[in-house]
Amino acid sequence: MAIIRSYNQPTVEARSAPAAVVPANAPVGAFGNAAQTEGNAQAARVAGAYLERAADTTGNMALSMMEEANEARVQELANGFMSGTQFTLYTDKDAFYRKRGQDAINGAQAATDKLLELKKEALGLAANDTQRRRLDKILSGQIEQATGGISRHVSQQAVEWQKGVAEGKQALIRNQAALDWNDVEKIDGLALAAEDTAKAQAKIAGLTDTDAEKAMVAKARSDVYATVIVQRLQNGQVRSALALHDRVADRLDEKDSMRLAPALKSARVEVDADDWIARNRPNEGRREARQFWEANGYSPEAASVMAGHEEAESGFNPKAVNPKDGRDGSDSVGIFQWNGARSKALFQFAKENNLDPYERKTQREFAARELETTESAAGAKLRSAKTLEEANSAAFSYLRPAKQTGRLDLAQAALNDRGVGSDKANASALVNAALNDPNLPPAVKASIATKINKESSSLEATRSATIKGLDDMLEATSIAMIASPGTYKKGTLATLADGYEAAGERSKAVATRLQASMEDTILSFATAPKGAQDEIMRNVAASILPGKSKALADSLIAGGRKDRAEATKQAGEDFAALMTAGSNGVRLETLTDKAKGVVDTYAAAGDFAKAREVQDWFNAQVGAQSVGQAPAAQLSQAAAEMKNRIESGEQSNAAIQQLDALEKVKRQQAAALEKDALEAGSTIYSRDLGPLPPATDFAGRVAYAEQVSRRQGGMQVLPFTEPEIAQIRTTLENAPPEQQAKTMLALAQIPAEHIPGIATALAGKGAGDQLSRSYAAALSFYADKDPASREIGNQILQGAKIIKDGGDGSRKPAVTSDAWQTALQERIGNLLRDADPRQMGVIADAVASVYVYQMNRAGKQGDKTDTDVLNAAIKAVVGEPVVRNGQAILPPVRGMTSYDIDKALRSLSDGDLDGLRTLEGTPITADVIQRRGILTNGRNGEGWYFVRIPDPRAGGDARPVVNADGSLYQIDLRPLIERAARFPEGLAPLPDAVTRARGRAPASPTEGLVP
């Protein structure tokens, strides 16, 4: 921080006026005669008295002025110190009070040292000891006060740091639980770790041995178990999820229990239904087991024996447990009653394969693995068995059961079972039995009926094929609606929904009917221009919460699902603040509007479950607080309003689904247009624009491309599809230079504004696509329609052909050394140091082609680098560079000099600069650019320049000026040049089609490829 410099002022000490001095021996006559002398003496005495008094007054005035000067200087230096203190502690981008957590702790000493440094600097600027003594006293007091604040900030941030570390650890524990959801041995350990971390958090907050600590510990433990249960459900391990829940139900907090209840209830219904069917349809377990083993390559006899043993061991119950049945005192578990090391191996197998250890299929797969590995001897016997007896003997050697009677009979029963019970008559009887079972809840009865009817269909194979066909048709239909809505036949989705219904796929039928209900909306949306699409989405978003979500509508459609996730996150934070306020006894009248706001946000984001949670909490608050705090009628009305908003969620939810569908349309169309704008546009808008004209109809193609471009908000649409561009590139590659020239002449007839895009497409995307880049450069010259430019284009094509014919020698057929390539790269690199690498590649290849052509024409193959020819090639392709402030650049007007560029820059004003940027705190004004700016060719095209400012330190590199997003800042000198130069005689705009299209910033890498 700059401190005002001192001025030199000596220390002045007060002193009395000197007494009159008269020579003691001077004769009286020396002063005239006596009378005169006496009179003169009297006058002198009077004057002396006056002079003495005046001297005293002057001395006092001097002392007073010096005192005031000292005080002013001290205050001035103190102000400078205060300014430096404020900068160090408050206003600097790296100020101490802006630091948080560990940064604040580590930065305290540096901040204190900086204040002491400022004090030392200020004292050194004092002019005298008086100023230093006074200033030292003032600054010492200010430093004492500032260091006290620093200490307090460090203390606060130390606590915040500890909180952040603990919160981060809890998050890591939850994440680990989500990753290790199938690791039985780790789950309880993670829960204990979460408890310990919660205790540490409570200690930091000063809540040790309080109810709040207990609540924090309970929540941390519950979060771990709830995370694992959710992961198991999401991964299809329903039985495993239920088993864990049943074991840790008392360790889940109320919130997690309520959150998990719906999913667990649904899962339990499915499991109970499966178990009831297995118990009450005698052949169900046999059939299922036999089919598994037959599918794994075992004979019907061996498969039937394994089914019989499974029935004998567990009754097909994968959760069967026989306590302490093992020789080592361990429990026997599962369908084959494994114990000891084998039961542990079962759970490890399930973990390694992300399978539910409590599912019959998992346990059968483990048994099959054992028969191939650790029990391979028994497995070999079982596979080679030809009779039930042989297979039964092999099974005994595998299972080694204590009781061996009756198993052959069960195997025979399984072998005799040919699907009895799966036909419609038996299925109907089983369904009736379930419906009449008084011990079954209604939901389980319904699930049993659905499962049996679905499984018992004699047309199951046909049904599966039908569903597969419907799935394929639905996918094709969905694509057609989005990519080529003109070909879609209305009513197709409704027909597909009927097909799903008839095949018993109720969930797919419902989803397809929902899509069918949005058929007209999706079709009109798919064919609407981009601007109209945005408005449609905005209206749908606004309809989610009529009258309240207009502000939210734009954010909902801006980022789609991501923004709705952010809205949910914000609502969660607001809800947490709301609950804190309620628990602190805030009056409910002040909470009502906040609660409604949270409900609105959750509902707008489509999260109606959380919205209901807010409603339930608010109702609980209504009951908890006394009526005296808020009128009961008012509270009841507020709760009723929230309930109505939530229960009307179906309509809002439909709007969310519609918004999702429209987002999908827009996203897929954008991807198709990005890949091939003309091809995608011709299918999307075929109903309005008709078929795509043939590729030879340039005028028709251009008009069609412009129509698509207008519908897409002005996006670049080439008059050729991607396959057609590839075909043009192939044609050019296989044709001799004469035919290439004809093709270029034909393409050059296309309107100038489309040439840069076509050239970009021809340039290709690969870094090594040398020939394609040469075609791009040549087309830019041909499009100029100037004979000299076309000659350069011809030389590029012919030089590229010479290079191509060089084979492995690549660019060496005209020379024996790579020196010319090195020189070329250095010059182009310096000229276009900040340009797009593809642009540099196009220019370098074009210059190389012209150079090789010229050397070939001159018969100089094998000669060393010809600098004159190389310079001429560079000048032909990119024009005559000019040098400003030591940097070579390309001017946007042929024939311009450095003087012309400087003349244009002199007219630059801050108003021409699209806002001021800063470099290390210094505004980059027009004056700074005029005096110090180093320009380099930009990426937006000719006349656009990046700006660099020399480093004030000796030998430092120039620093680029950047935008807020970190991209390089560019200025457009074309309007200034037009205004200042007015193209006097001898100067003319470069013959580039895009340069003539003023006001547009082209993105073509061939922008600078003009003679």
pLDDT band at 337 (very low <50, low <70, confident <90, very high): very high
**Each residue of 458-502: pLDDT tens digit?**
445 666 777 888 888 888 888 888 778 877 788 888 888 877 876
Q: What's the mean pLDDT in 723-728?
A: 87
* Angle made by CA atoms 829, 834, 836, in degrees to the nearest 5: 90
Question: Cβ distance 176 to 190 under 8 Å?
Answer: yes
Q: What's the mean pLDDT in 59-76?
A: 80
pLDDT band at 894 (very low <50, low <70, confident <90, very high): low
| CA 399/CA 334 separation, integer angstroms | 12
108-112, 345-349, 786-790: the lowest-pLDDT one: 786-790
| CA 371/CA 395 separation, integer angstroms | 10
Best CA proximity match to 619, nearest among 603, 635, 597, 633: 635
| CA 300/CA 292 separation, integer angstroms | 11
Which pLDDT score is estimated for 367?
94
pTM for the predicted model, two decimal places: 0.42
Question: Cβ distance 681 to 673 under 8 Å?
Answer: yes
Please check the confidence at residue 759 and state whether its pLDDT lies above 90. Answer: no
pLDDT band at 542 (very low <50, low <70, confident <90, very high): low
Question: Cβ distance 582 to 591 under 8 Å?
Answer: yes
| CA 124/CA 126 separation, integer angstroms | 6
**Each residue of 574-613: pLDDT tens digit?**
878 877 776 676 766 667 777 777 777 776 665 656 776 7
pLDDT band at 824 (very low <50, low <70, confident <90, very high): low
Best CA proximity match to 613, nearest among 625, 595, 594: 595
Which pLDDT score is estimated for 543?
59
pLDDT band at 32 (very low <50, low <70, confident <90, very high): very low
Best CA proximity match to 515, nearest among 467, 478, 556, 555: 478
**Each residue of 126-169: pLDDT tens digit?**
888 888 888 898 988 888 888 888 888 887 777 777 777 877 78
Residue with more model confidence, 133 or 530? 133
| CA 694/CA 698 separation, integer angstroms | 8
| Long-range contacts of the stretch 47-50 (C-beta < 8 A, 24+) | 48/20
CA distances from 469 to 87, 267, 363, 664, 917 (A): 72, 29, 33, 23, 60
Percent residues over pLDDT 70 in the chain: 73
Best CA proximity match to 865, nearest among 795, 812, 828: 812
Which pLDDT score is estimated for 827?
64
Percent residues over pLDDT 90 in the chain: 7
Please check the confidence at residue 721 and state whether its pLDDT lies above 70. Answer: yes
- Domains of the chain in start order, with CATH, are 31-153 (no CATH), 180-263 (no CATH), 282-417 (1.10.530.10), 460-525 (no CATH), 528-675 (no CATH), 720-878 (no CATH), 882-989 (no CATH)
State the CB neighbour count (10 A cutoff) for residue 472: 10
Q: Which residues pair with 972 in a beta bridge?
A: 944
Which pLDDT score is estimated for 222?
92
Mean pLDDT of the chain: 75
- Return the amino acid letter for 570: Q
51-60, 86-95, 330-339, 720-729: the lowest-pLDDT one: 51-60
